[in-house]
Amino acid sequence: MNMDDNKLTLEKITSDLTHHIRINKGFLIWMGFLTVSLLVCLYAYSIQLKTGLGVAGIRDYVTWGMYLANFVFFVAASLIGMLISAVLGLIGMKWLTPITRIAETIAVAFAAVAGLVIVSDMGRPERLAYVFLYGRPQSPILWDVTVITTYFVLSLLLLFLPLIADMAIIHRKADSLPSWLKPVYKVLSLNFTDNPAQNKIINRAIRILLILLIPAALSIHTVTSWLFAVTSRAGWDSTVFGPYFVSGAFVAGSAAVIIAMFFFRKNYKLQDYLTDLHFNNMGKVLATVSLVYLYFNFNEFLVPGYKLKRADAIHLQELFAGKDAILFWVVQIGGLILPILFMLFRRFRKPLPIMFISIAVLIAAWFKRYIIVVPTQEHPFLPIQHVPQNFIHYSPTLIETLISVAPFILVLIIITLISKFFPVIPLHETARERGIEHIKFD
C-alpha cells in the first residue's frame, strides 16, 4: 500500500467514504428505474399466480427450468461473503479491508433474494408455511431452507457488526450528512465510543461469526447441489457435485465483487481506496477459483465420458455436439478457459479489463447453471412419447423470463440502498490501518 496514504486524517477519510451518502438525482433516477422494472416483473408474477406455473415453459419432463437455474445462481453468488471475509480474512490478507463490506453486501443481497427465487418456482406459493409446519427432515429441501436462513442471518450480522463503529464515527464527524439520517446512525451505533472493551467484544464476535460462516456457506451450496445429486439422473448423479458447485460459486461471486468494486470506485469516487492493487489481487483470486472450478469440470465430464454408460452417453452427446452444444462450449470456453488465460497477464487485471472479464464470467455462470439444470431433464431414462412438442424441448416464455429478472432487480435495489446509506468501505478499520490509533469522541 502506498505509504503516503497513511497520512490522511480521520476527517479526510470520513468525508471520502461518506460523501456519497446523500440523496441526489442520479440515485433517484436509478431507483426509479429499478422500481418500475420491478413492477413490470411483479405484474408478470401476478399472472403466474392467477394462471399457474403453466405460464412458464416448464412442463412434465423439464419440470425445473429457469427458476431453478436462477435459484442455484443466487445461492452461488451469495457464497462470496464467506470466501472474502472468512477464508481470506482469517488467514490475514490485509489488502482485503476495503473489499469486505462489498462482499458482505453482495452475500446478504443474494442470500435474501435466493429465498424469494425459490418461491417463484412453487406451484402453490401460498403453502410455503407447510415447509415449516409439516417439514420432513429427510428432504434436502428442508436442509436447504435451514442452512440458507442460517447463512443469511450470519451474513447480516457480519455486515452489521463492523458498521457499528462506522456509525459512531459518521454521526459525529460526517458534516455532509443529511440531518434526518444522523439520529438513525446514532441509534445504529449502539453507543459505541471506541473504548478497548467495546472493541474487544466486537472483534471477538466478528471472529466467531467468520468461523461459523465457513461451515454455513459450504453447507448452503453443497445442499443446493444435492437437490440434483440425490437423484439418479444422468448428469446429476454425481459424487463431486458438492465441491463442483462450491468452487463454481466462488467464481460467480468473485466476478460479482469485481464488477461492484468497479462501479463503486467510479460512482463514489473511491480511487484512493480501491486501487489497481485491489483489482489486481481480486483478479488473482478469480483466476485461482476459476482454475479450481476447471479442475472439477474435468472430473465432472471426463469420468462419465470415459465410461459412456447409456444415459450418460446421451447426455454428454447432447452437451458436446447436440442441441446444447453451442451454449455449452461458449460457456465453458468463453466463461472459464479464456478468462483464466487472460487473467494470467497482469495487464488484464487492471480495473477496466478485469471488469469486462468479470461480466463475461458472471453471465457465463448463470448459463452454466442453466446447462446443469435443464438438459439432464430432456433425457430421462424412459422415452418421452405421446406428449405435445413443448413437453419435449424446454423453451422459456416471456413471462418466465420477466419473473426471473425480478430477483436481479431486487438484488440491485438492496445493494444500491446498502451502499448508498452506509460507507462502502469500512471506515473505522480503514482509519486504523492508516495509523489513526484511537478515535476521540467528544
Partner 1 sequence: MEDNHTSHSPDESEDQKNSTRRNFLKNLGLAGVGVATGAAALYSGHIFEAKKEVSGDQKVLLTQDGKLVQVDSLEIKAMEKTGVALHEMEGREGIPGRRWVMVTDLSKCRNARKCISACQDAHQLRPEQYHMNTLQMQDTPGTAPYNMPKNCQHCDNPPCVAVCPVDATYKRQDGIVLIDNVRCIGCRFCMAACPYSARIFNWIEPKDAATHLDQEYNVELNVPQKVGTISKCLFSADRLREGKLPYCVEACPNGVYYFGDENEDAVTNGTTKETVRLSKLLRDNAGYQLMPELGTKPRVYFLPPKNRLFPFEAATETTPEKV
Positions that interact with partner 1 (CB under 8 A): 51-54, 58-61, 63-64, 121-124, 127-128, 130-131, 133-136, 138-142, 227-228, 230-233, 377, 380-391
CB neighbourhood size of 116 (10 A)? 13
Q: What is the largest CA-CA distance in the chain?
A: 79
CA 150 from centre of chain: 16
CB neighbourhood size of 63 (10 A)? 12
CA dist 280 and 184 (Å) reads 37
Those residues whose C-beta lies under 8 Å from the C-beta of residue 263, and which sit 6 or more positions away, are none
User: Minimal distance in Å, beta carbon 309 to partner 1?
Assistant: 11
CA dist 141 and 186 (Å) reads 40
Closer residue to partner 1 in complex, CB, 59/368:
59
DSSP string, 117-157: HHHHT-S-GGGTTHHHHS--TTSHHHHHHHHHHHHHHHHHH
User: Minimal distance in Å, beta carbon 120 to partner 1?
Assistant: 11
User: Minimal distance in Å, beta carbon 134 to partner 1?
Assistant: 4
- Residue 36 phi/psi, 5-degree rounding, is -60, -45
User: Minimal distance in Å, beta carbon 302 to partner 1?
Assistant: 23
Closer residue to partner 1 in complex, CB, 6/231:
231
User: Minimal distance in Å, beta carbon 178 to partner 1?
Assistant: 44
User: Minimal distance in Å, beta carbon 108 to partner 1?
Assistant: 25
CA atoms in the 13 A half-sphere facing the CB of 72: 29
DSSP string, 254-301: HHHHHHHHHHHHHHTT-TTTS-HHHHHHHHHHHHHHHHHHHHHHHHHH
Closer residue to partner 1 in complex, CB, 59/420:
59
Closer residue to partner 1 in complex, CB, 59/265:
59
C-alpha cell at 420: 448508498
User: Minimal distance in Å, beta carbon 251 to partner 1?
Assistant: 25
User: Minimal distance in Å, beta carbon 252 to partner 1?
Assistant: 23
Those residues whose C-beta lies under 8 Å from the C-beta of residue 421, and which sit 6 or more positions away, are 21, 181
DSSP string, 190-225: TT----HHHHHHHHHHHHHHHHHHHHHHHHHHHHHH
- How does DSSP classify residue 7? G
Closer residue to partner 1 in complex, CB, 119/344:
119
Closer residue to partner 1 in complex, CB, 129/326:
129
Closer residue to partner 1 in complex, CB, 54/178:
54
Closer residue to partner 1 in complex, CB, 48/358:
48
Closer residue to partner 1 in complex, CB, 12/309:
309
Nearest to 232 by CA among 296, 310, 173, 302: 310
User: Minimal distance in Å, beta carbon 50 to partner 1?
Assistant: 10
CA dist 253 and 256 (Å) reads 5
Q: Which amino acid is at 43?
A: Y
Closer residue to partner 1 in complex, CB, 128/161:
128
The C-alpha angle with vertex 190 and arms to 189 and 194, in degrees rounded to 5, equals 70
Nearest to 329 by CA among 289, 321, 249, 313: 321
User: Minimal distance in Å, beta carbon 30 to partner 1?
Assistant: 35
